[in-house]
Structure formats: C-alpha cells, structure tokens
Amino acid sequence: MDFYGFTPRSRLFLGTAQYPSPAVLQKSVEAAGVDVVTVSLRREAGRLGGGQDFWALIRSLGVRVLPNTAGCHSVKEAVTTAQMAREVFGTPWIKLEVIGEADTLQPDVFGLVEAARILCAEGFEVFPYMTEDLVVAERLVEAGCRVLMPWGAPIGTGKGLNNPYGLRALRAHFPDVPLVVDAGIGLPSHAAAAMELGYDAVLLNTAVAKAGDPAAMAAAFARAVEAGRLAFEAGPMEPRDMAAPSTPVLGRALLG
C-alpha cells in the first residue's frame, strides 16, 4: 500500500471537520491510530481564527496532512485552492474535489479530470474524489493521478456502499492503483465491506465527528478496517445459491 511513496501504518484516513471541539478531534485521531488526516484550508482557517490553533493541534499529533479542495465548484477555484494549500502546508498532496451538483455533492467529473491534469503537471500528488466510473478513472490515471478515491455514497449521507458492483469492477480494472473509498461511510460495517472488496484504505469524517462518542467510534472504525483487510487477504469463500452442510454426512448412522 503505497501512496505516492508514503506507506501509512493504518488503512483508515480521517477527516477533521465538524467535531464538537479540538479536544474531541485530538482524542478521535489518537483512538483511530491514523497516519493521515484531511483538512479543508478555507473552513478551518475561518473557523479557528486564522487556523493557527488548528495547525498547531495537527502538528502535535504527528500525522500526515492531506489538504482538500472541499466546496470548490470550478476548475479555477479548485486549482487556486490547491496552490494555496501547498503554500500553507508545504506538501504536494491534495485531495481534489470539484463539485458538480449541489444536492448530492456529486463530482463534476469533466472538471475533475481537467483540474487533475493541471495540478499533476504542476507537480501535485493528486487524490481525486470521483464516482466509480471506469472511464473517468482511466482519464484520471492518464492525467497523472496515481491514487483514485471513488465515493461509497454522497458525502455525509452514511449510506455505505451504494454500488458494490461498480466498486468491485474498479478494483478489478485497476489492480495496481491504490484505491480509497471516500465519502458516504456511516458504520464500521461499511468500512469493513469496502476493505473486503480489496480496497487499500477508507476515508471518512462525518461518521466519527457526529457520533455520540467520536473517539469510541473512531476506534471501532480502526478495528473494522483492519478486520476487512484481513478478511480480504485470507480469501473469503465464494457465495453459493444452495445450502451445503458444514458437517459431513458420509459415515452417518442410518436409523431404520
């Protein structure tokens, strides 16, 4: 599992928005044991007085920052935000979002590919937030993306994996590209299901931040991601239509 030359210990990536307090955020990140957190440049800077307290907290956690272009609805806006984030954080990493539809926050895949091409040419290491469309994935890889981040469901819905078939097809089509399910994860079981499909990591935010006990939920997700990956590596049994006895019938006594 290599993300632009970086191999995290944890396959769970965690967002940093919507937590009740910085202290709860800190406890959640620590409970999850994550190595990578996402941050929104504009949101955090506006909410925490220029962002200094927030950046100090993130630095104290010793995690790698994945800035994002959340809330951007055009190529120009996304590219400009990415350039600002690189200056602030000193990292070429960027989670690229170009939103095309307000109600579902579905990516504008045309703008996404265009913005990815621009940023990759400028030396960014792009993590594109996309749908599970194979053609879009091909275009993003051609643009220079070495990681793909298909959604599970619309951002913040907690619906889980709306299209397991599409996600499975994406995994089969890109066996050597790191894939991260991003958005729509609501329960640890959803995260485990993504990992059982062979995905390399899961990125989530709202399911932890809005839980009754965010730190406990973060720990639950960490265990689910680990369990799902172990199950994938173990080689799950193939489902079947007919029942099959788990106890052999050969040699069973026949009673008249």
Residue 3 CB partners (closer than 8 Å, separation 6+): 36, 127, 147, 178, 201
Show the beta-strand stretches assigned E in 119-187.
125-130, 149-150, 180-182
| Cβ atoms of residues 94 and 127 within 8 Å | yes
Instruction: Cite the annotated binding site for 1-deoxy-D-xylulose 5-phosphate by residue number.
Output: 156, 183-184, 205-206
> How far is 7 from 221, CA to CA, in rounded Å?
19
The two tokens of residue 89 are 């954080």
Residue 228 CB partners (closer than 8 Å, separation 6+): 191, 192, 193, 194, 195, 196
| Cβ atoms of residues 149 and 203 within 8 Å | yes
**Which member of 27, 76, 95, 210 is catalytic?**
95
**What one-letter code names the amino acid at 120?**
C
Query: Could you tell me the CA-to-CA distances from 21 to 58, 119, 209, 214, 222 in Å, in that order?
Result: 13, 33, 10, 11, 21
Instruction: Cite the annotated binding site by residue number.
Output: 156, 183-184, 205-206
76 is catalytic: no
Residue 41 CB partners (closer than 8 Å, separation 6+): 67, 68, 81, 84, 85, 88
What is the separation, in whole angstroms, between the first and last Cα of the chain? 60
Supply the residues annotated as catalytic. 95
